[in-house]
Structure formats: structure tokens, C-alpha cells
Amino acid sequence: MNRFSFHQGPRSRALILSVAALLLSLSATAPTLAETPNWRPSASERLVKLPGTYIKKAIDQDFQESPLATALGDVGTRIGNKTQTLEDLRSAAERADGEARNELQQQFLAEKQGYIKLMGERQDLRRKQIKTKVHLYEALLRKLERRGEGTSQAMEALAKNQEAAKQRFSDSVATVDMKLFNSSTATESKYGKEYAKNMAAIENLVTAIDAHPMNVQPEFDGQPLSKQDYLRQLIAEGESDLAILNQEENILGYMAKLVALDAMALSEGLADDALALGDDGDELSSPASAVDFFITRN
Amino acid sequence: MTCTRTFTLAVATAACLAATGAAQAGTLENLERERAIMVETILDPSLTAVERQRKIVLSQNRLVDLERMVIRDKSLAGKNTPVVKKAFENYDLTFLVHASVEKNLSLMDHWLSQVGVSTKNVMDARVGRRW
């Protein structure tokens, strides 16, 4: 009955593997955050002043230049390589027999552990990215809302008077031009002529700015969104991404449990020809795409 | 000697530049100045009717541009100073030319009506000694 002796070759290795897998199932989804690289964007005044759609682009660009994005890209590459290794090992295990097959199955289990660990790392980096982004959007929203609060009653009255004056003035400009400058005694001034010429140029530029793709105003269901509403929508999208990450974390937890069970089954000698030999799955973005490696037991 | 002259020239140039900067007034200040000249012309008893009319026409052409400069001046938007507040509270007095054309009155009649002087008031007035 000395089943757990360390002198039984592959069995003892499988036992070690199973213990490692159990430990992994506890730790895979919670690696240390202190080691992860950072992204520290700030809700600058320049960002607040940008048009709605450009805010997101500017933030995404800032993220791409951060160490966090580099780390995320690096983990993504490693996950891609790991997925390829899993594919290769699975094919090799299908073709192998006896002791070699046993060895390959153990390697396959070890690689699956590695895959879960990498996915855990990726989840943490993604969580950090999304949380930072949501906090940034919230800070921008607070700044925008504070701007509106600063207007006093006197300022409001002045703005109202200035608006009314502009309206009244624009209504009388044409009449003034007709009455004063259509007579033979008075001609339009240099300022008037230059202003009209420049105004035409400005109108052309404004039309070009309005039509510029970088200046497209955010819309929702065909309706234009204010900057505040757009930021609220981005915050909601960030929160939904976090919820999806939580769900993906559950998937990783279940994968880790399956690896642990497979390892135990292997150590008990019950897992012959029963390890992960299934269909291809090469999409790397979500742990759900790699579930086949873990659930197939035919 | 040459060095001293160069230095003096540089100081003089700097002083000229500084003076130009200091003298530069805002659009509203320029409008106020021109408007004051216009009111002075209206009230000047030494002018004949023809001279007054000629001066008013000249001033009016300058005022049209100055009024347009003020209304288009973006730096005045939300500038909560007493001068700016007062200017926009009294559109008819600030934008004299545009308001007078809008009301189809001569510039002088418009200004007089705004300060409370009408033909009826003048006709009703009695000559007497103020105690």
C-alpha cells in the first residue's frame, strides 16, 4: 500500500504534479499585483478640453505607450506560444503509446498549469488597465461637472446679456450696412472689408473641421451625445468589461480544478487515454477559447 | 562712445515698445472713447449744425467698426468686470449706431431719447432761475 513512495517514477512525478496543480488552483487567479507594471494617466485640463470621441483615442494612445501595455502584449505573446505548445503536446500524446504517452500527458498537464498562470497574469493586467481607465473617466467627468458649477448668478446674467446683445446685433447688421454703406457718402471701412474676407476663409475652415473624421461627435442610436454622457457610457463599458473579467476568472478557477483532478487521476493510474484530446481552439483573447484543452476526456 | 550710443538706442527702443504695449486698449475701451467724442460733438454748443453733422457722420463710421469689434471680441465673453457688465446691460447706449438704425432714428435723437431728453421735454421746459 505504499502508493505514495517517491521511488515509483512517473507516479511520484504525477503526485508532485497533482499537489502543484492543487496549489495552482488556489493561486492561479491571484498573482501579486505589486509586481505588475503601471499605467498612470492623469485627468489633465488638456484632456478635458478635447472633443468627446478624441478623449477615448487619446487615452488609448497613452495606454499603448505605457509599461502596462507592453506587459500585456508580452503576456499575450506568451499565451499564444503556450497555446501552440498545448496543441503540439495534445497531438503528440494522441500518437504516442505506453510510457512515452504517460510522459507527454504529464507534460501536457504541466503546460496547462502554465497556461492558467499566464491567463491569470493577463487577467490581472487587464483588470488594472480597465480600473485605471474607469477611474480616469470618472475624474474627467467630475472635472467637467465642476466646470459648470463655477458659474455664479452674476456671470449667468452677464452671459445672458451678451447672448441677447449678439442676437440683437446680428439682426441689425444687414440694415446698418444697407443704410450707411449703400449711400454715396460712406463706403465700407478697411476693417469691414478685411473682416468679410477673413470670415469667408474662417467659414471654409469651420466646415472642414466639422467634416473632419477626428471631430465626429459621439452618437448613441443616431442621437448626438454630450461629453458627460459619452464619458458615462465609457464608464459603463469599463464596468461591463470588469464583470466579464470576473466571469473569466471563474473559468480559470474551473480550469485549475480540472487540471488538479486530471493530475490526481494520472497519479492514481486511472487517466489512461483520458486527457484532453479534442478539437482545435486558437482564439487567445479569452480563457473560454481554451476550455477544450481542459474538458475533453475521450 | 559708440557703445554708449548703441546702449541708449536699445533703451529707447525698449521704452518705445513698452509704451506701445501699455497704450494698447481693449475693444470696449476704444468704443467708449469714440462714443465719448460723439457725445461731446452732440453737446458742443460752439459747433454749427453743418459742422456737427459732418463730425457725427465721421464718428459714426468709426463707431460702426468699433461696435462690431466689441460684439465679436471673444475675450469679453464671461468677463465679469463692472465696465463689461454695464456695457451689456445698456445695449442701446453701448451700441449707439446699430441701435439707432434698428429704431430708425438719427444717432443724436437716439442718444437723447436714451438719456431721457425728448422734444416734448424740451418744449415743456420753462426758462427760469435755479435757486
**Residue among A158, A176, A192 whose CB faces B98 most closely:** A176
DSSP assignment of A172-238 equals HHHHHHHHHHSSSS----HHHHHHHHHHHHHHHHHHHHHH-GGGPPPEETTEE--HHHHHHHHHHHH
**What Å distances lie between residue B79 and A33, A111, A160, B39, B74, CA to CA?**
49, 68, 12, 26, 10
pLDDT category at A26 given cuts 50, 70, 90 is: very low
Residue at A29 is within a domain: no
Q: How many other C-beta atoms lie within 10 A of the C-beta of residue B35?
A: 20
Confirm or reject contact between B113 and chain A (CB < 8 A): no
The reply to whether residue A159 touches residue B57, judged by beta carbons under 8 angstroms, is no
Residue A262 has pLDDT above 80, yes or no: yes
Pairs across A and B, CB distance < 8 A: 66
Residue at A7 is within a domain: no
**Residue among A152, A164, A186 whose CB faces B61 most closely:** A186
pLDDT at A155: 84
The reply to whether residue A186 touches residue B95, judged by beta carbons under 8 angstroms, is no
The reply to whether residue B101 touches residue A154, judged by beta carbons under 8 angstroms, is no
Q: How many other C-beta atoms lie within 10 A of the C-beta of residue A85?
A: 16
- Find chain B residues with C-beta within 8 A of A155's C-beta: 78, 80
| Chain B nearest-CA residue for A172 | B102
Residue at A270 is within a domain: yes
- Find chain B residues with C-beta within 8 A of A173's C-beta: 68, 98
Nearest CA to A248 out of A203, A288, A205 is that of: A288
- Grid cell in block for residue A249: 476568472
Residue at A253 is within a domain: yes
Which H or E run contains A17? helix A10-27
Residue at A190 is within a domain: yes
- Grid cell in block for residue A220: 448613441
Nearest CA to A237 out of A75, A58, A36, A56 is that of: A56
**Residue among B65, B78, B97 whose CB faces A191 most closely:** B65
Sequence-distant (6+) residues with CB within 8 A of A112 are: A86, A255, A259, A262, A276, A293, A294
pTM for this structure?
Answer: 0.51
**Residue among A162, A176, A180 whose CB faces B77 most closely:** A162
Which residues, numbered 7 to 66 in chain B, qualify as contacts with chain A under a Cβ-Cβ cut-off of 8 Å? 57, 60-61, 64-65
pLDDT digits (tens, 9 = 90+) for A49-77: 887 778 888 899 999 999 999 999 999 99
Residue at A33 is within a domain: no
ipTM value, please give it: 0.72
Contact A37/A67 with Cβ under 8 angstroms? yes
User: Between A190-211 and B49-72, two packed helices, what is the crossing angle to 10 degrees?
Assistant: 20
Residue at A297 is within a domain: no
pLDDT at A120: 92
Tell me the C-alpha distance between B10 and A118, whole Å: 70
Q: How many domains is chain A partitioned into structurally?
A: 1
Q: Which domain holds residue A134?
A: 12-23+45-277
Instruction: Return the domain boundaries, chain B.
Output: 27-124
**Cα dihedral: A84, A86, A90, A96 (round 10):** 90
Q: Which of A26-35, A61-70, A246-255, B120-129 has the lowest mean pLDDT?
A: A26-35
pLDDT at A69: 93
- Find chain A residues with C-beta within 8 A of B65's C-beta: 189, 191-192
- Find chain A residues with C-beta within 8 A of B85's C-beta: 154, 158, 161
pLDDT digits (tens, 9 = 90+) for A142-180: 888 877 655 678 888 888 999 999 999 998 888 888 887
Residue at A229 is within a domain: yes
